[in-house]
Amino acid sequence: MNDHSPAGGRRLWADIDLDALRANVRTLRERAVGGAQLMAVVKADGYGHGLLPSAAAAREAGAAWLGTATPQEALALRAAGDTGPLLCWLWTPGDPWRQAVEAGIDVSVSGRWALAEAADAARSAGRVARVQLKADTGLGRNGCQPADWPDLVAAARAAEVAGTVRVTGVWSHFACADEPGHPSIALQQAAFADALGAAARAGLDPEVRHLANSPATLTLPDAHYDLIRPGVAVYGLSPSAEVGTPQDFGLRPVMTLRARLASVKRVPGGHGVGYGHSYTTSGATTLALVPAGYADGVPRHASNTGPVLVAGKWRTVAGRVAMDQFVVDLGGDAAAAGDEAVLFGPGDAGEPTAEDWARAAGTIGYEIVTRVGHRVPRVYRGERAS
Ligand SMILES: *Cc1c(COP(=O)(O)O)cnc(C)c1O
């Protein structure tokens, strides 16, 4: 899937270390208790790492399941030849329900309208729809409220009896698992147990029950059930500083974002830098131009705060991040156009991490990697011939 030549002429690119991704999947599988299998979440273009290469590497490392948000992502996996268990959870009316049922994709259902869509799709596809019922155990986002759950499980059981639907899973999602000890965690676990009990009393016998995102995979073994469902940890990032660092869990960041300096020049003291002149040189210095901007996913909120490794040292973005470029002040150090700048990576070669950028921009590491833009080629390392 490496559709970008690794040869010269590269302005800005993301190295994707698929060996690290495979090692992360194996490490997470080792943490799974009671024989729970692993669903690698590959939504949003594999958190910016590339859908198909990330999915293939996760399967190679033993991910029994893949998970996506949108049906388009799930169908793209099938179009690329992935035939394994696959759950897709973010559905709206008018989505390609029938194609998903034909492709053997498990569809998540949080209410009666969606159950009806799945049953209709099954009838027109001439195939039983694989449905996973999602309970809202407290997140307040998608999922069926406890008050509506008995009706949903009864209707799903009736659809099973009618032969249109098979309920393959019951599942839910945490709100605050990245804040260990948060009181909502135990409440959600209890609510999930209640939802499972009601499903069983309705006569449902799902293949998989699952609740654990990355933070719950790392910190809540009693939430693992039949399947752990990590996303960000697969890509080697920690869900939060409270949970720990990637190293604490033997995880390795998969993406390294690199650029080549587009210009290096001497400027006098007192020189304004960038739009709005939010930075002024304090004395004669060298300014290096990094050809990466907010169109490439570099957060504008990291103006005057984002870290970047240039000429062997951490530098800080000088002035505003623009659409396509930002400047760093080398403080008189030498560098040349074409030299490499590393915005973030695993951190063990002295470079900042996605977490460092997240702190600088007031966001989370998830957003830093996921927003790396379309015009940034992904260069895959450790790809296997298929
Ligand atoms: C994104 C997502 C996950 C993965 O979450 P991480 O915190 O990245 O592990 C799991 N389940 C659902 C429903 C999600 O939307």
Looking at the fold, whether 141 and 210 belong to one and the same domain comes out as yes
**Known binding site: residues?**
141, 323
Indicate whether 277 belongs to any domain. Answer: yes
Q: Which residues partner with 379 through β-bridges?
A: 15
- The pLDDT of residue 47 is above 90: yes
Q: Does the global pTM surpass 0.95?
A: yes
Phi, psi (5° rounding) for residue 26? -65, -40
- Give the confidence band of 384 by pLDDT, cuts at 50, 70, 90: confident
Looking at the fold, whether 55 and 154 belong to one and the same domain comes out as yes
Q: Which residue has the higher pLDDT, 246 or 386?
A: 246
Indicate whether 13 belongs to any domain. Answer: no
What CATH code is carried by the domain that includes residue 81?
3.20.20.10
CA dist list (Å): 350 to 295, 305, 309: 26, 17, 7
370: Cβ below 6 Å to ligand 1? no
| Mean pLDDT score of the chain | 96
Looking at the fold, whether 220 and 292 belong to one and the same domain comes out as no
- The pLDDT of residue 7 is above 80: no
Is position 366 annotated as part of the catalytic site? Answer: no
Question: What whole-number percentage of the chain has pLDDT above 90?
Answer: 96
Give the mean model confidence (pLDDT) for residues 328-341.
Answer: 97
Of the candidates 311, 312, 326, the one whose C-alpha atom is nearest the C-alpha of residue 357 is 326
- Give the confidence band of 48 by pLDDT, cuts at 50, 70, 90: very high
Looking at the fold, whether 188 and 262 belong to one and the same domain comes out as no
Q: What is the pLDDT of residue 9?
A: 61
Give the mean model confidence (pLDDT) for residues 131-148.
Answer: 98
Indicate whether 385 belongs to any domain. Answer: no
Domain count of the fold of the chain: 2
Q: What is the pLDDT of residue 2?
A: 41
213: Cβ below 6 Å to ligand 1? yes
- Domain housing 34: 18-236
232: Cβ below 6 Å to ligand 1? yes
Q: What is the pLDDT of residue 307?
A: 98
Ligand 1 centroid–CA 168 distance in Å is 19
Looking at the fold, whether 39 and 161 belong to one and the same domain comes out as yes
Looking at the fold, whether 165 and 304 belong to one and the same domain comes out as no
Give the mean model confidence (pLDDT) for residues 166-170.
Answer: 98
- Give the confidence band of 386 by pLDDT, cuts at 50, 70, 90: low
Looking at the fold, whether 276 and 216 belong to one and the same domain comes out as no
**Each residue of 57-92: pLDDT tens digit?**
999 999 999 999 999 999 999 999 999 999 999 999
Phi, psi (5° rounding) for residue 310? -135, 135
Q: What is the pLDDT of residue 385?
A: 75
**Each residue of 269-316: pLDDT tens digit?**
999 999 999 999 999 999 999 999 999 999 999 999 999 999 999 999
Counting ligand 1 atoms within 8 A of each CB, the residue from 229, 237, 367, 368 with the most, and so the one to mutate, is: 229
Indicate whether 375 belongs to any domain. Answer: no
Residues 100 and 121 sit within 8 Å (Cβ to Cβ): yes
Indicate whether 147 belongs to any domain. Answer: yes
Active-site residue, from 47, 235, 275, 366: 275
User: How many other CB atoms sit within 10 Å of the CB of residue 191?
Assistant: 18
- The pLDDT of residue 213 is above 60: yes
Looking at the fold, whether 218 and 334 belong to one and the same domain comes out as no
Give residue 59's region: left, alpha or beta (phi > 0; psi -120 to 50). alpha
Looking at the fold, whether 134 and 183 belong to one and the same domain comes out as yes
**Each residue of 88-117: pLDDT tens digit?**
999 999 999 999 999 999 999 999 999 999
- The pLDDT of residue 324 is above 50: yes
Looking at the fold, whether 231 and 82 belong to one and the same domain comes out as yes
Output DSSP code: residue 384: -
What CATH code is carried by the domain that includes residue 287?
2.40.37.10
Looking at the fold, whether 171 and 318 belong to one and the same domain comes out as no
- Give the confidence band of 342 by pLDDT, cuts at 50, 70, 90: very high
Indicate whether 245 belongs to any domain. Answer: no
Nearest CA to ligand 1 atom 13: 173
Indicate whether 384 belongs to any domain. Answer: no
